[in-house]
Structure 1
Amino acid sequence: MEAHEKGFFTEADSVEVVTGRNANTEDPRLKEVMEVITRKLHEAVKEIEPTQEEWFKAIMFLTETGHKCDAWRQEFILLSDILGVSMLVDAINSRRPSGASENTVLGPFHVPDAPEYPMGTNICLDQKGEDMVVRGRILDTEGNPVANAKIDVWQTNDDGFYDVQQKGLQPDFNLRGVFRTGADGSYWFKGVKPRFYPIPDDGPVGQLLGHLGRHPNRPAHLHFIVTAEGFDPLTTHIFDPDDPYINTDAVFGVKESLLADLRQVTDPARSAQVGFDGPYWEIEFDFVLAQV
């Protein structure tokens, strides 16, 4: 028996025996990762003490999760989302100095190469929903405006669907657009008041949520990717704080710093200024980028 081999497998020495077999791994990062995963998994099994039937049920859950994956759907990402792992990985990889805007999950519905529009454009192409204006500034951590920042924005319609979910019902690139800030770092565009919506819950992950007594809903939000030369790219949302699911987001994407103040504007003169015929909703939200 070689030095790294720890002998026969026992319940007490299970971690040492299994990880010892990996001593000849050429990739040090793989070795480190597998040692941690093995240790934590064995600790969980020893604490839970599953029956053979329970362990097989867990294996079948993972099998069914894999079967649900295809070119358009990734059920394992959904599982990672509802366990909070996606948000944790994102948080670890997007640590920023105090005052910088926080990241949250990208989500599965971003579409590259959305049309670039001049400021003030209405990205709602089918004129359905409650009118909304979104405005604010892109700043650095010292409060200085960031010129020529690229703002890629997308959102659901008032039924809670993205355009790619309703091909033929919504126009292509509905409620999507790209804008660039001027010298003052300001931005503004028009859209519609977003609505909460469920993540796909017709598969094993949705069944798990049901067994756990959890709902599948995400609170109303708008997506942003903000980039500028010399700054850390920001992938984030802004949320409606009055949404019924704001405290129980199915994928844990809400952060307190990303709550926006939605106000309804009823002044006809202000409506006319932004090109609306009646009342509209308004959000003002500044994004702060961290330098790299």
Structure 2
Amino acid sequence: MTETWNSESTIPADQAHVEESLTANVLRSFEHCEDPRLKQVMQGLVRHLHAFIRDVRLTEKEWNTAIAFLTAVGHITDDRRQEFILLSDVLGASMQTINVNNTAYKDATEATVFGPFFVEDAPEIPIGGDIAGGAQGQPCWVEGTVTDTEGHPVPTARIEVWEADEDGFYDVQYTDHRVAGRAHLFSDAEGRYSFWGLTPTPYPIPHDGPVGKLLEATGRSPMRASHLHFMVTAPELRTLVTHIFVTGDELLKYDTVFGVKQSLVKDFIEQPAGTPAPDGRDLGAAAWAKARFDIVLAPADA
């Protein structure tokens, strides 16, 4: 009769010795690595990976399923879709990496996940310009300042902004190579910035691939809380990757990539049709919204 062992069972001493000896042997194989950081990372990975396999008593069938899953993640990944980032996001690995690398410093704005939809070389717009680029949704005026943690304005900070349209899709998810819902601009001499975008709406992460199947199999939703992405860079200051979320969104507690932080939840205040726009823009009969996001950057060495 074959005994089945699990993490709550007592592993026989001779079996435990076999498993522990293998882990020790693999760890020794990295002893001659000349890069100390690479050695630390690889040995840490081996320790945790082997501990996981032993903890859950991973079966060979499950190992094969995992290999097939990772292969599928690789096959669907291309220059417009990053399924590996998506996998990292839904496992909380992206958010934990952000937490580890962005320690709290005074009142610096908190960071959150980068996401898989950032694109280099987004078009530049002037202060007060429009990032929508034809993307559909409710117009939204966003304004604020960029300062350091001492309260000094940060001029010419580069502010990258990107978001989904009202249907929940980013431009890169379309097949016509459009550029919409993204741009960059620079803060003025007083650290001020403003732009027109779209009022964020909730949407599902891409769930037609292996990550979506994983969420379905585990009873999890693919939905993200409504948000607007920012990446802010300035000399001698820590690069900030973050988003702002919408007060009152029912998904704030259930964001599938665990990206919500309370300090990043902002009021998006709807303005009735006919309300004058801050820059005099003619919005016709359309209602619009406005939000304020004051950004505080930590020192680069914080």
Give me the TM-score of the superposition, normalised by structure 2.
0.84
1:106 match: 114
CA shift, 1:127, in A, is 7.0
> Which whole-Å CA distance do the structure 1 matches of 2:231 and 2:212 have between them?
28
Structure 1: gaps (5+ residues): 1-8
Which stretch shifts more, 262-271 or 151-160?
A: 262-271
* Shift in CA distance, 65/176, structure 1 to aligned 2, threshold 3 Å: closer
CA shift, 1:23, in A, is 2.7
CA shift, 1:87, in A, is 1.5
Q: 1:202 aligns with which of 201, 205, 208?
A: 208
2:218 match: 212
1:97 aligns with 2:105: yes
* Shift in CA distance, 272/36, structure 1 to aligned 2, threshold 3 Å: closer
Q: How does 1:29-178 map to 2 (within 5 A)?
A: 29-126=37-134, 128-168=136-176, 172-178=178-184
Answer yes or no: is the 8 Å Cα contact 1:140–1:290 preserved in 2: yes
Answer yes or no: is the 8 Å Cα contact 2:199–2:268 preserved in 1: no
Q: 1:19 aligns with which of 22, 27, 32?
A: 27
Structure 2: gaps (5+ residues): 1-16
Q: Residue type of the partner of 2:54?
A: K
Answer yes or no: is the 8 Å Cα contact 2:140–2:197 preserved in 1: yes
Answer yes or no: is the 8 Å Cα contact 2:125–2:185 preserved in 1: yes
Q: Residue type of the partner of 2:114?
A: L
1:250 aligns with 2:266: no
CA shift, 1:133, in A, is 0.7
1:280 match: 288
Q: 2:244 aligns with which of 238, 244, 260?
A: 238
C-alpha deviations, 1:111-137, integer Å up to 9, x for none?
Answer: 222222222222223373212111111
Q: Residue type of the partner of 1:195?
A: T
* Shift in CA distance, 19/217, structure 1 to aligned 2, threshold 3 Å: same
Give me the TM-score of the superposition, normalised by structure 1.
0.87
Answer yes or no: is the 8 Å Cα contact 1:100–1:288 preserved in 2: yes
Which stretch shifts more, 126-135 or 277-286?
A: 126-135
Aligned length: 282
C-alpha deviations, 1:122-166, integer Å up to 9, x for none?
Answer: 222337321211111111112222222221212111111122222
1:4 match: none
> Which whole-Å CA distance do the structure 2 matches of 1:37 and 1:231 have between them?
31
CA shift, 1:82, in A, is 0.9
C-alpha deviations, 1:153-209, integer Å up to 9, x for none?
Answer: 1211111112222244xx843222222222222111112212222222122211111
The two structures, once aligned, show a CA RMSD in angstroms of 2.3
1:270 aligns with 2:279: no
CA shift, 1:281, in A, is 0.7
Q: Residue type of the partner of 2:254?
A: T
> Which whole-Å CA distance do the structure 2 matches of 1:150 and 1:98 have between them?
22
- Please give the secondary structure, in 2, of the residue aligned with 1:10: helix
Answer yes or no: is the 8 Å Cα contact 2:135–2:181 preserved in 1: no
Answer yes or no: is the 8 Å Cα contact 1:271–1:279 preserved in 2: no
Answer yes or no: is the 8 Å Cα contact 1:194–1:222 preserved in 2: yes
> Which whole-Å CA distance do the structure 2 matches of 1:122 and 1:179 have between them?
10
Answer yes or no: is the 8 Å Cα contact 2:266–2:293 preserved in 1: yes
